[in-house]
Structure 1
């Protein structure tokens, strides 16, 4: 049963990362059209960096083949992007600089929508894997109870 518990934990870590990725994309989209006065800091787009926890796939496979519990999962770190500010010519804006440009956060809305869609799809895949492991665990308990 240890392997099933581990697969549940791995799926859960994946769901947590994808939820964070969707939240960050939503935050970036919300800040896409936010501007600031010349010389004032803009909202920085955020990025989710994912790193594996535990051993890699090859090591996990070796551990599983030798009847050891494969360890794994993922975790995320949120970092600021270094994307340059988006400049739009709008000399009538009170926030325009001396050349008539207004600066917006360096958010590409299309990329953020794609990231959000991918996060939702990945979250769904992790839910499917979680439910499959849970179903296997339930079947094992049912089989064990019939003896």
Structure 2
């Protein structure tokens, strides 16, 4: 594979990984008020395979095992004898920060992809002359 193809493949794999990360962040935000919901997160790994040493892949989805919030609401259908039920462990500030970080990484990889494409196009134009 050429260097241009390698750089495009690396950028494309990073774009896919950040898109998946954003998907999980949006799931966390949408389920912030769901009783018993545990925050999901993903990790990034080096992709396996031929010439994939610099590509990124998404690892397994991990559930946050921190304690769930105990909410007092005796009228809630899931409340126990003491009037408490378990909420979620999603912190919206953390999710917003993760979303911004993923967005910035996505934008940087998109610019890198576009730069490599423009360089390849310019090289092809030079070779035609």
The TM-score normalised by the length of structure 1 is 0.79
For 2:39, the equivalent position in structure 1 comes to 45
Contact kept in structure 1, 2:46 and 2:53, CA below 8 Å: no
Which 4+ residue blocks in structure 1 deviate beyond 4 angstroms? none
Which of 69-78 and 94-103 deviates more? 69-78
Alignment pair present for 1:92 and 2:75 = yes
Listed as ranges, the gaps of 5+ residues in structure 2 are: none
Rounded Cα–Cα distance in structure 2 between residues aligned with 1:51 and 1:71:
10
Rounded Cα–Cα distance in structure 1 between residues aligned with 2:69 and 2:44:
26
The TM-score normalised by the length of structure 2 is 0.89
- How many residues are treated as equivalent by the alignment? 126
Contact kept in structure 2, 1:14 and 1:73, CA below 8 Å: yes
Q: Deviations over 1:114-136 (max 9, x none)?
A: 11111111100000000000000
Rounded Cα–Cα distance in structure 1 between residues aligned with 2:98 and 2:44:
13
Deviation of residue 98 (structure 1)? 1.8
For 1:16, the equivalent position in structure 2 comes to 16
Q: Deviations over 1:16-71 (max 9, x none)?
A: 01101110000011111012xxxxxx3322111111236xxxxxxxxxxxxxx894
For 1:130, the equivalent position in structure 2 comes to 113
Rounded Cα–Cα distance in structure 2 between residues aligned with 1:70 and 1:17:
14
Contact kept in structure 1, 2:22 and 2:102, CA below 8 Å: yes
Listed as ranges, the gaps of 5+ residues in structure 1 are: 36-41, 55-68
